[in-house]
Amino acid sequence: MAVIIFLLIAAVIIVIKIVSDKPITLWGGGEYTFNVTRLRYAQVLPLIKVGDRLKLWTKPNYSRIIINVRGYGFILEEGQLGLVPHEYVSVIQRHLLSDYPLYDAEIVNISEKSCTVKVKLLSRKEQDILNAGVKLAHELSEREERVKLTALFEKPYHANLKAKPLMVIFTLLKKDFKDFQNVKLIVMPKEFYLKNIYDH
């Protein structure tokens, strides 16, 4: 089953690659390569390498996009690599604040004085394909868990004389609850638990 999910995700990536080879401008799709500006957190540079993924952060009415190293947080020198150049802020910010904000940002070159980053903004069509693939992979995984649980429930019961009895203890949080008389422990049919295995 894991192989099927892997092949499914690989197929989605291939489709996105095919789609991304065509010029798409809907919802800010596009690709931009630039040198990071204000590379003032020099202590971050020894921690990064070409191919590392990056996070972009901005907010409405903010004229900057902060570039952060994944895994080092957003707090000041802890993970900030620098800023997106001013000439790219408008188009990238519009994408990040839209209803379809997915992107991919990675380091493509590092030198003593500069760091080159490539940002790929996924178009609405690409994101729909990706989301559909993720949803299908989740459904396949849930289906596999349901099959396993069904098989477990359908196994014949054999009493284990050495097993310890099940003990259920209820504790009243309010001792002055005078209307408390009895408690029922109800075991529902297996179909009840198989309906949505993540709710029980």
Region 68-95 average pLDDT:
82
Mean of the per-residue pLDDT values for the chain? 75
Q: Which two tokens stand for residue 113?
A: 């004085």
What residues contact 194, with CB distance under 8 A and at least 6 apart?
A: 146, 149, 150, 153
Percent of the chain with pLDDT over 90: 30
Q: State residue 151's pLDDT score.
A: 77
Report the range of poorest mean pLDDT among 147-151, 157-161, 166-170.
157-161
Region 92-117 average pLDDT:
92
Each residue's pLDDT tens digit, 1-33: 555 555 555 554 554 454 444 333 334 479 999
Each residue's pLDDT tens digit, 25-40: 334 479 999 999 988 6
Beta bridge partners of 33: 118
Report the range of poorest mean pLDDT among 76-85, 122-131, 179-188.
179-188
Higher pLDDT, 23 or 56: 56
> For residues 95 and 101, what is the distance between their CA atoms, to the nearest angstrom?
6
**Local structure of 80: helix, strand or coil:** strand
**Local structure of 162: helix, strand or coil:** coil
